[in-house]
Amino acid sequence: MKLLWAILSLPLAAETGSGAPPIGDVTVRISRGFATPPVLERSMPWRPSSAMGLLGRVSTVETAFGGAFVERINGIPGKAEERGGRAWFYYANGMMAQTGAGAYAARRGDEIWWDYHAWEGVGQVRALIGSYPRPFLGSAAGPARPVLVVHTPGAEDKAAALKASLEGRGLPDVRALPIHAGDAPDDSPVLAIGPWEEIAGFPAVRTAVSHGGRCGLFIDGDRSAMRVLDLAGRPRASYPNAGAIAAVAGGRSRPTPLWLVTGTDLDAARRAADILISRPERIRGMAAAVIDGGSIRPAPAVE
């Protein structure tokens, strides 16, 4: 609740732009409980605007507390619906925003994602995979820290291919490292490739795995299967010999993306890496995903 208040109760700023933004349209996505397909998704030409201003360009918004708190988007939640501790949260380029929606100046290429969910239990969902590769692109000047692609033995080629893919998108400093050598410096974005039970011991991953659904991981697993969790962190479906992609927030002094590119075994983790290398559009708009053969299963499970 405190985090929600800190994010949404900041003063509503005038629409404005800043700096030299990256090239591209802006996208607004609206969802409930991270369900796919979203309630609304729309891309539009960039013009100087806040995240709140962008939302108003594509939807009908009702606010409270002087315009700082989003009460309803396109009538959601309905006036007769019990709120039950739920609220609208927004994410900028796949990471929970650290400033109020009225104060966030959108840049060219930004993706602003609004989701309606409970702040207790899943209120710490701080990173999503469905905005890839935006979480790793950083500011117009590039990320402040190198992007680390760390891997277990046997995934060296996939780490190298993912490194090349990110470099092809304009990232100036991407490093592929064995996972034992890749204990991330503070605030470095990390993609960890390898079997679930192996990367779970990586220091930067251990805390995220132990928190499970409470930090929005929405998957867990072992050597037998990967499991899709629901919004409360409860297992809802199990997939043997499957891969998975999930995101949480790492970093100590500021939130940075920490991604798990994983699976029941090495082959499954390699297949998950192939999605990011060759077919990232397949995870668009998902909070997390399990790769079950040729199918992508979105997570969390939605009842």
The DSSP-derived string for the chain is -HHHHHHHSS--PPP---S-PPSS-EEEEEEETT-SS-SEEEEE---S-BHHHHHHHHS-EEEEGGGTEEEEETTBSPTTS--TTEEEEEEETTEE-SS-TTT-B--TT-EEEEEEEESSSSTT--B-STTTTHHHH-BTTB-SS-EEEEE-TT-HHHHHHHHHHHHHTT-S-EEEEEGGG--PPTT--EEEES-HHHHTTSHHHHHHHHHGGGGT--EEE-SSEEEEEBTTS-EEEEEET-EEEEEEEE-SSS-EEEEEEEESSHHHHHHHHHHHHH-GGGGTT-SEEEEETTEEEEESB--
The pLDDT value recorded for residue 53 is 94
Q: pLDDT per position in the chain (303 positions), as tens? A: 333 333 333 333 333 333 333 457 899 999 999 999 999 999 999 999 999 999 999 999 998 887 778 999 999 987 666 566 788 999 999 999 988 999 999 999 999 999 998 876 554 788 999 999 999 986 544 456 889 999 999 999 999 999 999 999 888 899 999 987 656 666 789 999 999 999 887 776 776 666 544 456 889 899 999 999 988 888 999 999 999 999 988 776 678 899 999 999 999 999 999 999 999 999 999 999 999 988 999 999 876
The pLDDT value recorded for residue 155 is 97
The pLDDT value recorded for residue 120 is 64
The pLDDT value recorded for residue 11 is 34
